[in-house]
Structure 1
Amino acid sequence: MLESSSVLLFIVFVLIFVLLLFTVLIRKNAAAVALIWHEIIREKITNFIMNQSKEQRILDFVLQNAVRGDPCSVVDTIDKYCSQKEWAMNVGNEKGIILDKTVEEVNPSVALELGTYCGYSAVRIAQLLKPGARLLTVEFNPKFAAIAKQMIEFAGVHDKVKILEGPSEEIIPQLKKKYEVDTLDFVFLDHWKDRYTPDTILIQECNLLRKGSVLLADNVIVPGAPEFLNYIRNNPRFQCTNYPSHLEYMKVKDAMEKAVFLG
């Protein structure tokens, strides 16, 4: 009886989101439709059937198909899974190339990532870091952090990466004393979009930027970070560059925003 009730509740849940999808379709918002389908409806159905999270399925695929200790193989394997099997909110290869070039240009000694998720971009950044450099990556969701830890260790870059679990607004003020950060050379923003602006302000208030520090923000078009774009582009302390691209593993238009701190 309880099992039948659970199935019924799940069917009702799916029907509600199908209705939501239909509503968005009427409004012709293709990006929102795609995200609702992949992130809510399809994922929830698959999780229910397999009794396993999408993030665990990504990790399992990497463990079974990638080469241990080879970060490029890990990144390529995640891209293969997410482009052919299930969409996931990694930065993806197209925007990943923009990320790579930015990291190479900055050549950071200390980098900060806000939003670890499964560890895709952490692996991507870490493999480009010079000897002795380090990446601090912040993840609010403990389940994602656990997946990322295994992903980073499998890729062989765990000596360069430290995962910090908790809200970004609590961890950022701790960076100087607790994690011995003087200033940040590079910051990658890829967490909750409504945290982009307050966390950028907080990073400045904590004196974590130096002249030449670079911020790179993902998904500034989809899901979108209009408040952040308005703030950063109208701030005389930053010089901005926009990089048009596409939403990870889709043809939906997206972009990344680079902001160089002028001091």
Structure 2
Amino acid sequence: MSKQDYMNIAVQEPPLDYSFRSIHVIQDLTSEEPRRGLRPLRHSKSGKSLTQSLWLNNNVLNDLKDFSHVVSQLLEHPEKLAWIDLSFNDLTSIDPVLTTFFNLSVLYLHGNSIQRLGEVNKLAVLPRLRSLTLHGNPIEEEKGYSPSLPHRQYVLCTLPCVTTFDFSGVTKADRTTAEVWKRMNIKPKKVRIKQNTLWTMSPAIALAFLPLVVTLLVRYRHYFRLLVRTVLLRSLRDCLSGLRIEERAFSYVLTHTLPGDPGHILTTLDHWSSHCEYLSHMGPIKGQILMRLVEEKAPASVLELGTYCAYSTLFIARALPPGGRLLTVERDPRTAAVAEKLIRLAGFDERTVELIVGRSEEVIPRLRTQYQLSRADLVLLAHRPRCYLRDLQLLEAHALLPAGATVLADHVLFPGAPRFLQYTKSCGRYRCRLHHTGLPDFPAIKDSIAQLTYAGPG
């Protein structure tokens, strides 16, 4: 087969897809079966794949050791590799091995652990690179990160051939700005210093901004009140009492509730949050949605990630069918101790509600062997929205979600879980519905519970 014939076939070939395989090291590719698509892959006489695309997304790779060697074992012409998808792994840097594939035109690195924007400089040697993604990496936590200035222009300055960055097309204005940056040799750090100097303005200029500040405070007064109650007042009371808010709430429950009555305990927690200290809990409206769904689905086993003060735990436990089991995971031992007391005070024993103390990413791989949970018919994600996507993919990877399982995710709009929602809507394995509500005691701040129905592995 001539090289021209190979190019014509390879461009039309589906990718060699090793996504969602829980691959830890590149060497595992030689023993792992690729995913099957709608069209079968073609192979050469030597048994190697005739394709220019390699997908390794949604695995647990933290380095690319022996990448070139393994790729040469999988592809008939590895030097023609044009598309590499390494998104949603644990890579901390851009490995120089990627710069040896000079035909590379598409490189997906979003959802990794890359911390330095300067890693992009390594890709400048790739003459055909047209599409690059970096969003969802720790570099987003740097002050000022956004797909716009300054980092977008930094990337375009470094990689002038790129036409699509973070799934957004590069405009003529982007090119013009990048060219100005290139001539002025501007770096992102210097831009941030210039931005900071804006605060050294004269009192007259500062006074001119006063109407704008007042307008923002009026418009976002609900968020300002929430900030005061959840951060300022809570921190002050923590210092004065030496107790956390959930510990103070438990003391209030002990003196104002009836043991063995989960409904009365929930009402007492609501009263505490409304009239004493804001608890940042699910609230009665979301609680009723949760309880109704549990009653409708009648799951034999439920997994909750994020116990907190056991508020949502009690709603689930009340609605469990006879013989149902709830495993709830809380990472903070001090918070878990309070939740354990509230669960037992409500009358639920360990056979019905088992509380596990630990990080969700460490607990999920041990659920089957250590906690005898072979499947979770219903899952509630109520811990940290930025961890939702990672933990959902862990549940998929360890085959803990049966077809038809229900996954509920709280706070998907505030503070928000955009990557999680984007993934569930685009991967094709979930049907998604949003239950729109507001925060308890702050109905003007809109939020939603996402209800996902799992269709099974693709």
Give SS of 1:209's match: coil
CA distance in structure 2 between the partners assigned to 1:79 and 1:235 by the alignment: 37
Q: Residue in 2 aligned with 1:96?
A: 287
Instruction: Tell me if the contact between 1:31 and 1:222 (Cα under 8 Å) persists in the aligned partners.
Output: no
Q: Residue in 1 aligned with 2:436?
A: 244
Q: Residue in 2 aligned with 1:41?
A: 232
Instruction: Tell me if the contact between 2:222 and 2:442 (Cα under 8 Å) persists in the aligned partners.
Output: no
CA distance in structure 2 between the partners assigned to 1:170 and 1:48 by the alignment: 31
Match of 1:193 among 374, 385, 392: 385
Q: Given residue 448 of structure 2, which amino acid in structure 1 is its aligned partner?
A: A
Match of 1:137 among 328, 334, 337: 328
Q: Given residue 435 of structure 2, which amino acid in structure 1 is its aligned partner?
A: Y
Q: Does 1:127 align with 2:293?
A: no
Unaligned runs of 5+ in 1: 1-21
Q: TM-score, normalised by structure 2?
A: 0.51
CA distance in structure 1 between the partners assigned to 2:448 and 2:221 by the alignment: 16
Unaligned runs of 5+ in 2: 1-212
Q: Does 1:154 align with 2:363?
A: no
Q: Per residue, is there more helix in 1 or in 2?
A: 1
Give SS of 1:210's match: coil
1:96-115 to 2 correspondences below 5 Å? 96-115=287-306
Instruction: Tell me if the contact between 2:364 and 2:395 (Cα under 8 Å) persists in the aligned partners.
Output: yes
- Give the drift of 1:88: 1.2
Structure possessing the higher radius of gyration over alpha carbons? 2
Q: String of CA shifts for 1:75-125, please: whole Å, max 9, x gaps.
A: 111111111111112111011111111111111111000100011111111
1:8-19 to 2 correspondences below 5 Å? none
Of structures 1 and 2, the one with the larger relative CO (CA 8 A, separation 6+) is 1
- Give the drift of 1:27: 9.9
| Cα-Cα RMSD | 1.8
Instruction: Rate the CA distance shift 1:67–1:177 in 2: closer, same or farther, 3 A.
Output: same
Q: Does 1:259 align with 2:452?
A: yes
Instruction: Report % sequence identity.
Output: 35
CA distance in structure 2 between the partners assigned to 1:76 and 1:122 by the alignment: 14
1:165-204 to 2 correspondences below 5 Å? 165-204=357-396
CA distance in structure 2 between the partners assigned to 1:42 and 1:179 by the alignment: 39
CA distance in structure 1 between the partners assigned to 2:257 and 2:392 by the alignment: 35
CA distance in structure 2 between the partners assigned to 1:31 and 1:162 by the alignment: 37
Give SS of 1:39's match: helix
Instruction: Tell me if the contact between 2:375 and 2:402 (Cα under 8 Å) persists in the aligned partners.
Output: yes
Q: Residue in 1 aligned with 2:136?
A: none
Q: Residue in 1 aligned with 2:259?
A: 68
Q: Does 1:216 align with 2:408?
A: yes
Instruction: Rate the CA distance shift 1:161–1:230 in 2: closer, same or farther, 3 A.
Output: same
CA distance in structure 2 between the partners assigned to 1:143 and 1:237 by the alignment: 37
- Give the drift of 1:137: 0.5
Q: Given residue 195 of structure 1, which amino acid in structure 2 is its aligned partner?
A: C
Instruction: Tell me if the contact between 1:219 and 1:247 (Cα under 8 Å) persists in the aligned partners.
Output: no
Give SS of 2:321's match: coil
Q: String of CA shifts for 1:161-204, please: whole Å, max 9, x gaps.
A: 11111110000010111111111100000001110001001100
- Give the drift of 1:38: 1.8
Instruction: Rate the CA distance shift 1:31–1:106 in 2: closer, same or farther, 3 A.
Output: farther
Give SS of 2:279's match: coil
CA distance in structure 2 between the partners assigned to 1:112 and 1:58 by the alignment: 24
How many residues are matched? 242
- Give the drift of 1:206: 0.4
